[in-house]
Homo-oligomer: A and B are copies of this chain.
Amino acid sequence: MEAVIDIQGLSKSFGSHEVLKDINFSVDKGEVVTIIGSSGSGKSTLLRCVNLLEKPSGGKIIFNGENILDNKHDVHQYRRNLGMVFQQFNLFNNHNVLGNCVVGQMKVLKRSKEEAEKIALKYLKVVGMDSFVNAKPRQLSGGQKQRVAIARALSMEPDVMLFDEPTSALDPEMVGEVLRVMKELAGTGLTMMIVTHEMEFAKEVSDRVVFMDKGVIAEEGPPERIFNEPTQERTKEFLKRTLKQ
């Protein structure tokens, strides 16, 4: 299958602090890749590098055959293909729930107001937030914010979704629901990169699991193999502590 995103030798430093080191991996069209690893291992930074919110210190990101780190590349055009759900949600404070899901569609995708609202409502319904269209972000609970953030990203109908812990604030029931939606989306050919701490979730949803440790990819493979027969010492230790919990 064809790689949508191909990351080659990616590295990222904050000052002298090297957070990502020589990351190599690719994601195929329609594939669901989950990224696991301990806190601070660079998972969020990796996602942020992929959509260029952080400027990588080195390496290449090949998207549809082009290196988007090339200077000639239009960043905004590229980002339209990617949706992102942030770990901190980052809902637009000056818009209500509906506005959060509509503004990008209208301004970036130039959809009409009616169309944008129809699509927004569709995805708000999926996450169970359609009755809160009028609420401002500050009036929402943690889980509600996260669901709106998911709906906002989905409303843009991107090719690739980057989820940074999309279920951290959700109750298990909602996690199940989101899982169901994601599977549906994966079925429609949506490519996904998901950072998660929920191993069950990772097992269930992913085609491939990437285990990150201290800024490098320690191991990757299909979930069955990673979870049942990890080859690396670090992975084993991480999973041991995790699973016996």
Contacts and interface: CB of A to CB of B under 8 A. Distances in A.
Copies of this chain:
2
Interface string A192-226: 00000111100010000000000000000000000
B37 A171 contact: yes
Nearest to A197: B171
Nearest to A143: B39
A179 B88 CA distance: 23
Given A44-B141, A142-B165, A170 B241 contact: no
A168 B171 contact: no
Contacts of A174: 38-39
A68 B242 CA distance: 41
Interface string A14-46: 100000000000000000000011111001110
A94 interface: no
A199 to B, nearest CB: 6
A229 to B, nearest CB: 19
A29 to B, nearest CB: 28
Contacts of A40: 140-141, 143-144
A87 to B, nearest CB: 4
Interface in A156-208: 164-165, 168-176, 179, 197-200, 204
Interface of A: 14, 36-40, 43-45, 87-88, 139-144, 147, 164-165, 168-176, 179, 197-200, 204, 238, 241-243, 245
17 contacts: A38-B171, A38-B174, A39-B141, A39-B174, A43-B141, A142-B164, A168-B168, A170-B197, A171-B238, A171-B242, A172-B242, A172-B243, A173-B238, A173-B241, A176-B241, A176-B242, A176-B245
